[in-house]
A and B are shown apart, each in its own frame.
Chain A
Amino acid sequence: DQQVKQNSPSLSVQEGRISILNCDYTNSMFDYFLWYKKYPAEGPTFLISISSIKDKNEDGRFTVFLNKSAKHLSLHIVPSQPGDSAVYFCAASGNDYKLSFGAGTTVTVRA
């Protein structure tokens, strides 16, 4: 049973514009959320995270928003750059510290 869902398998965006990636979760016990980025032939790398006590976290061009009541989070990338083309995974964890991952969204940034 997929507890973390990324319903958009792909996203194409113009360079310089905003990329918005969405993620929904079903387990109300999740209290920590992360985004990972993955290039082909490499393992995922940590991008940004947010605790359930916050509703927004920013790190440079990356901002994650959390809406606990809707069990929804999103990742905003502004401005999008060609190097941002990758697969992005949303992950969530509860007090067992196990990470549950979504299926991923492939982002393509067009020049």
Chain B
Amino acid sequence: KAGVTQTPRYLIKTRGQQVTLSCSPISGHRSVSWYQQTPGQGLQFLFEYFSETQRNKGNFPGRFSGRQFSNSRSEMNVSTLELGDSALYLCASKSLFSAYEQYFGPGTRLTVT
């Protein structure tokens, strides 16, 4: 079974621009969560989507948004990029049979200059 895939792997953007990241979950997984990882902060939860609906949301500004498609693929969008948005963005999927265990993709490294 293929793992969680994320595209692109690396991205460089300028302050004020917007960016869209993509995540394809493991086949059959309908839950997709997004996390931001920065040095010293660990993984900060952004949001979770299940069956195209946002089920949980973390404490991030409205510039961070997401969506999920009918095939469970998910996208995350960040508008009006700030320098502090530079981070590794991780996507994780979860099966219906696991309440807690999530499977992570390799992440997208976003650098804002």
Q: Which A residues lie at the B interface, using CB under 8 A?
A: 2, 4, 6, 9, 32, 34, 36, 41-46, 49, 89, 91, 93, 96-104
Contact A101 B43 (CB under 8 A): yes
How many of B's residues come within 8 Å of A, CB to CB? 23
CA distance A46 to B40 in the complex (A): 20
**B25 interfacial by beta-carbon distance below 8 Å:** no
**B40, B58, B100, B102: the one within 8 Å of A32 (CB):** B100
**B40, B45, B107: the one within 8 Å of A43 (CB):** B107
The number of inter-chain residue pairs (CB within 8 angstroms) is 56
- What are 30 inter-chain pairs, A to B, with CB distance below 8 A? A9-B40, A32-B99, A32-B100, A41-B106, A42-B106, A43-B4, A43-B90, A43-B104, A43-B106, A44-B43, A44-B90, A45-B103, A45-B104, A49-B101, A89-B42, A91-B43, A93-B100, A96-B56, A97-B56, A97-B99, A97-B100, A99-B33, A99-B43, A99-B45, A99-B100, A100-B45, A101-B44, A101-B45, A103-B41, A103-B42
Contact A46 B101 (CB under 8 A): yes
Enumerate chain B residues within 8 angstroms of A9, measured Cβ to Cβ: 40
Q: Which B residues lie at the A interface, using CB under 8 A?
A: 4, 33, 35, 40-45, 48, 56, 58, 90, 92, 99-107
Q: Which residue of A lies closest to B38 (CB)?
A: A103
Q: How far is the CB of B3 from chain A (nearest CB, A)?
A: 8
Enumerate chain A residues within 8 angstroms of B41, measured Cβ to Cβ: 103
CA distance A2 to B100 in the complex (A): 19
**Extra 6 A-B pairs, beta carbons < 8 Å, given A43-B106, A46-B102, A98-B56:** A2-B42, A42-B106, A44-B90, A93-B100, A99-B33, A101-B43
Enumerate chain A residues within 8 angstroms of B44, measured Cβ to Cβ: 101
Q: How far is the CB of B1 from chain A (nearest CB, A)?
A: 15
